[in-house]
């Protein structure tokens, strides 16, 4: 069996080699000639699996180490008999923790508390559910919007997008990007939506860039309809809008899901897909593990204020990558390829927390 893999998929090298010939390529090296004799592709979102790439190849499986799959021409794959698999939920915890850390960063800067604020979560799938858990534990009131789930499960527990626009202090989007059908999400956050906001909410996009209309978001920020923005996903990446960059409170290069844990989950899922599809056993699969944090213990001794927030931002803060992106936005893809993947809360042990704090740390996922 021959596998062609993106060489930036973490923790992969040496794992599948006992059962397959594995060729590692840069994203720009994925061409019809380099993949024509591959049985399987292991890809990331920057690897465009188009008809032009795949036609005439012997590829029978494409497995992507990402939640999203809009980089795969699924219509052509279905026509050509090519099976494709994504990695749903692999980085859901990572994205949820990114959002909470970013909101805490803004709240501390503003001298406010998040507790008691209302957060509207648009899209309550893998990521939305994880964010709901964190925000509930942290003391926010939750509004949930997910029309496909509401249609399938019943309307109880869900609200309309208009309700979120009118009632939420914070609005965060966690939908896939779809352009057609009754639940299309492209430009879901558009001028009509922003004009309905009533509480000058904070806006978060950590899903897909085109879920918001950039022109409309810039207008909403300038007019005060939106008071703060956290943007991890941008329209037209990597050619991001510099005016929007200047207006955001937290700006990052599409790395919300880039925790070491999420990356390991995505890689592991790809290999499991290969095992099932080709009927092989990859014995070294258990070795796909993220490294320990450089400093896995967070000691609260001497921390007198914002102790919960201190621990959260000690494990992950968006400020370093935010600063780097603002300084050289043209290096958007470089930052993604060279990002230092942080560990999630579960990799950290908190010391000297009070009994009350321990209960919250447990709910957030810390040891």
List, by residue number, the catalytic residues.
Answer: 208, 237, 254
Could you give the 3-state DSSP secondary structure of residue 105? helix
Other CB atoms within 10 A of residue 158 CB: 17
Residue 206 labeled ligand binder: yes
Q: How far is CA 52 from CA 30, 48, 57, 185, 220, in A?
A: 11, 10, 10, 27, 40
Cβ neighbours of residue 284 closer than 8 Å, sequence gap 6 or more: 14, 15, 16, 18
Contacts of residue 139, Cβ cutoff 8 Å, sequence gap at least 6: 114, 115, 116
* Length of the chain (residues): 367
Torsion of CA 281, 272, 265, 144, to 10 degrees: -160
Closest alpha carbon to 343 in 302, 295, 280? 295
CA gap 98, 93 in Å, rounded: 9
Helix (H) or strand (E) holding 6, with range, is strand 2-6
Q: Is residue 230 within 8 Å of residue 204, measured between CB atoms?
A: yes
Is residue 160 part of an annotated ligand binding site? no
Distance between CA atoms of residues 67 and 126, nearest Å: 9
Is 169 known to sit in a ligand binding site? no
Task: Give the C-alpha separation, 93 to 99, whole Å.
Answer: 10
Residue 261 annotated in ligand binding: no
Tell me which residue of 151, 147, 183 sits closest to 163, measured CA to CA. Answer: 147
| Inter-residue contact 62 to 275 (CB < 8 Å) | no
Residue 45 annotated as part of some ligand binding site: yes
**Closest residue by Cα to residue 145 from 227, 137, 131, 134:** 131
Query: 322 labelled as ligand-binding?
Result: no
- The verdict on whether residue 208 carries a ligand-binding annotation is yes
**Chain mean position to CA 283:** 29
Query: Is residue 73 annotated as involved in ligand binding?
Result: no
Is residue 77 helix, strand or coil?
helix
**What is the Cα–Cα distance from 210 to 186, expressed in whole angstroms?**
6
Is there a binding annotation on residue 232? yes
To the nearest 10 degrees (0 to 180), the angle between helices 92-110 and 260-278 is 160
User: Residues annotated as binding site for NAD(+)?
Assistant: 146, 175, 206-208, 232, 257
User: Residues annotated as binding site?
Assistant: 45, 66, 146, 175, 206-208, 232, 257
User: Residues annotated as binding site for substrate?
Assistant: 45, 66
């Amino acid at each position: 069996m021959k596998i062609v893999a993106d060489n930036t998929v973490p923790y992969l090298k040496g794992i599948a080699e006992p059962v397959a010939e594995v060729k590692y390529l840069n994203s720009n090296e994925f061409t019809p000639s380099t993949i024509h004799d591959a049985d399987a592709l292991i890809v990331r979102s920057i690897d465009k699996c188009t008809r032009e790439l795949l036609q005439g190849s012997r590829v029978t499986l494409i497995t992507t180490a990402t939640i999203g799959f809009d980089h795969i021409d699924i219509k052509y794959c279905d026509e050509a008999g090519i099976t494709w698999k994504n990695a749903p939920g692999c980085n859901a915890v990572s994205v949820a923790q990114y959002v909470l850390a970013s909101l805490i960063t803004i709240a501390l800067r503003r001298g406010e508390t998040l507790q008691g604020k209302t957060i509207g979560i648009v899209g309550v799938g893998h990521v939305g559910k994880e964010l709901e858990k964190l925000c509930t534990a942290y003391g926010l009131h939750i509004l949930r919007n997910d029309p496909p789930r509401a249609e399938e499960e019943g309307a109880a527990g869900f609200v309309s997008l208009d309700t979120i626009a009118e009632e939420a202090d914070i609005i965060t989007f966690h939908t896939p990007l779809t352009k057609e059908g009754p639940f299309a999400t492209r430009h879901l956050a558009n001028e009509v939506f922003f004009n309905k906001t009533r509480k000058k909410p904070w806006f978060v996009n950590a899903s897909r860039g085109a879920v918001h209309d950039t022109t409309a978001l810039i207008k909403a920020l300038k007019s005060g309809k939106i008071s703060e923005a956290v943007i991890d996903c941008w329209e037209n990446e990597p050619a991001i809008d510099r005016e929007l960059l200047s207006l955001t409170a937290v700006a990052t290069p599409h790395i919300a899901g880039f925790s070491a844990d999420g990356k390991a989950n995505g890689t592991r899922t790809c290999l499991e897909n290969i095992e099932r599809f080709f009927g092989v056993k990859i014995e070294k699969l258990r070795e796909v593990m993220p490294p320990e944090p450089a400093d896995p213990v967070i000691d609260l001794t001497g921390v007198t204020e914002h102790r919960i927030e201190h621990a959260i931002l000690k494990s992950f803060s968006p400020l370093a990558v935010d600063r780097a992106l603002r300084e050289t936005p043209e290096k958007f893809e470089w930052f993604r390829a060279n990002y230092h993947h942080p560990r999630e809360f579960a990799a950290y042990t908190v010391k000297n927390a009070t009994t009350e704090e321990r209960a919250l740390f447990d709910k957030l996922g810390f040891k």
